[in-house]
Structure 1
Amino acid sequence: MRSLVWISGASAGIGAALARTVPFEQARVIDLSRSGGGSARGEYVHFRADLAEVSEWQRVERHFEDELAGFDGERVVFVHNAGTVAPIGPAAVVDPAQYARSVLLNSAAPQVLGRAFLRATAELDCEKHLVMLSSGAARKPYPGWSAYNAGKAAVEQWVRSVGEEPTGCRVVAVAPGVVDTAMQSEIRKVDEQAFPAVERFRDLHRTGGLITPEQAATGIWSLLDRPLSSGATVDLRDL
């Protein structure tokens, strides 16, 4: 096994496409998600974890350590893709439990799991990559998306900060653009009072303005070969 690749949320959408298109021969691909059921070009393993549950984060950290014990391959990669756009609506009226779950999954989990990956790989002498999925919403505020906006902004600032540290791992954040996933389908069903910008996303769907998960995955994997500095935050639409 030359490559060890973790992808969170690899059971559907962009995550599943990433697993199917891993560009390395002899790769062990590990899906960190609740449901699993995906597939990969190489060996596919499902590690069941609900990343919105604080109690699960330590399990994932121990899993990183166990998988890396004695690893002598060429590269290790962690693509943190898991996230949620729910709940959609004004912060004052959305379900409080859903809101707290969104904050944990979109903001806290990437930081905690990213730190765990950096710690687990610190002593490895090989190629190391940590890729965090971001969004244009990290920089453009949308009413009705406060938890999602803030979560993605937190991811990007974490990447910029860690990129200034001597980790030996290249850490980048990437916004893939608007991708034709189940998440987008749910967004288009939302009432305009909950999400005033919904018509923009409906128009993108009607006019063919969405990219496929496979296109997004190809663009994300291409970042590993680009001369990006650690700490870079990029949008695939600008490359």
Structure 2
Amino acid sequence: MTSTTPIRAIVTGHTRGLGAALAEQLLARDIAVLGLSRSRNAALHARFPALLKEIELELADPARVAQLIATDALREFASGAQTVLLINNAGMVQPIGPIEGQDAAAIASAVSLNVATPLMLASALAAATTGASDRRIVHISSGAARHAYAGWSIYCATKAALDHHARAVALDANRALRICSLAPGVIDTNMQAEIRSSGAEQFPMRDKFEDLKRNGQLVTPDQCAAQLLDYALSDAFGQTPVADIREINKPV
């Protein structure tokens, strides 16, 4: 993809962690970004006032997301772009713990944020950008989508839903739309800190994640964002609907 191609990107959860790193690196590449999050990224907006547009949105509330979709916000942002990239990054790992201890409201929030919102935005983007010659959707998935973990039944299920959504959408054979549910590896973010703070009775594999942190085996958000964007903007993107960034970047 050449640098002269007009590209616009939509990133959910752009105020911290991987989402903030993705938004910053897109902007640094002179790509306009629409950030969707509960709050705004003031520091990033101060650096890129002309390129960053933000909409405060409770992404775990499908009714609020539907209200946004009903407006012309996505269509207006994408207008004139040849390539439109949607990165469904926002997500939550809670509730952690055995099934009998999971709070019903927490389950509903997780399913809304991790599944309903990405699927709603993917559909809305496809409908609002029919004039773009190249539309790309990235679901931020997880190894938990492909391997079951005790205490993570909700997180595993919701990430697996994104994987299967990408597989099914790919069967639509819309050549102007590429999609991939992409596992980014284990990243040093607030979510990892949240996982390490859970009790062993809630998440029996907690020690493994503590060891990853202790041994410096966590990837930084900036490192992950660079790898992810290189792939998402490459010609290879979309050739497989489910992928792992660690496998893509393995030396041959």
Which range, TM-score by smaller chain?
over 0.9
The one-letter amino acid paired with 2:77 is: E
Amino acid at match of 1:188: R
Q: Alignment length, in residue pairs?
A: 236
Q: Which of 69, 74, 90 is the equivalent residue of 1:64?
A: 74
- Return the offset for 1:58: 1.6
Q: Partner residue of 1:147?
A: 154
2:40 to 36, 46, 66: 36
Structure 2 segments unaligned to the other structure (5+ residues): none
Indicate if the aligned counterparts of 1:2 and 1:26 stay in contact, CA closer than 8 A. no
Q: Residue 4 in 1 paired to residue 8 in 2? A: yes
Matches within 5 A, 1:100-115: 100-115=108-123
Aligned with 1:83 (options 78, 81, 91): 91
Q: 1:92 aligns with which of 89, 92, 100?
A: 100
Partners of 1:156 and 1:53 lie apart in 2 by: 22
Partner in structure 2 of residue 236 of structure 1: 245
Q: In the alignment, is the contact (CA less than 8 A) between 2:141 and 2:162 conserved in 1?
A: yes
Structure 2 residue matching 1:85: 3-state secondary structure: coil
**CA-to-aligned-CA distance 1:171-194 (integer Å, 9 cap, x gap):** 111101000001101110110000
SS at match of 2:85: strand
Quick one: distance in 1 between partners of 2:194 and 2:238? 35
Cα–Cα, structure 1 residues 219 and 23, in superposed 2: closer, same or farther, change >3 Å? farther
Shift of 1:34: 0.3
Deviation string 1:124-156 (CA, Å, 9 cap, x unpaired) is 143221111000000111111111100100000
In structure 2, how many angstroms separate the alpha carbons of the residues matched to 1:189 and 1:24? 34
Corresponding residue of 1:210: 218
Matched-pair contact (CA < 8 Å) for 1:161–1:231: no
1:129 and 2:139 equivalent?
Answer: no
* Residues 173 and 231, structure 1, Cα contact 8 Å, conserved in 2: no
> For structure 1, which runs of at least 5 residues remain unmatched after alignment?
none
Q: TM-score, with normalisation over the residues of structure 1?
A: 0.92
Match of 1:31, SS state, is strand
Q: 2:107 & 2:81 partners in 1: Cα distance?
A: 40
CA contact (8 A) 2:27 2:52 kept: no
TM-score of the pair, normalised by structure 2: 0.88
For 1:173, what is the secondary structure of its paired residue? strand
1:201 is displaced (CA, Å) by 0.3
Which of 153, 160, 170 is 1:163 aligned to?
170
In the alignment, the residues of structure 1 paired with residue 81 and residue 113 of structure 2 have an alpha-carbon distance, to the nearest angstrom, of 30
CA distance in 2 between counterparts of 1:59 and 1:66 reads 15
Cα deviations by residue, 1:57-107 (Å, 9 ceiling, x for unpaired): 223323213323xx2233211111000001111121122111110111112
Alignment partners' CA distance in 2, 1:101 and 1:229: 29
1:46 and 2:54 aligned: yes
User: 2-side partners of 1:96 and 1:164: how far apart?
Assistant: 34
Match of 1:188 in 2: 196
Taking only aligned residues, the RMSD between alpha carbons, in angstroms, comes to 1.8
CA 1:136/1:25 → structure 2, altered by over 3 Å: closer, same or farther? closer
Distance 2:96 2:81 in 1: 43
Q: Deviations over 1:33-65 (max 9, x none)?
A: 101215277511211111110111223323213
Query: How much has 1:230 moved relative to structure 2?
Result: 4.9
Matched letter for residue 130 of structure 1: I
Query: What CA distance in whole angstroms lies between the structure 2 residues aligned with 1:225 and 1:36?
Result: 29
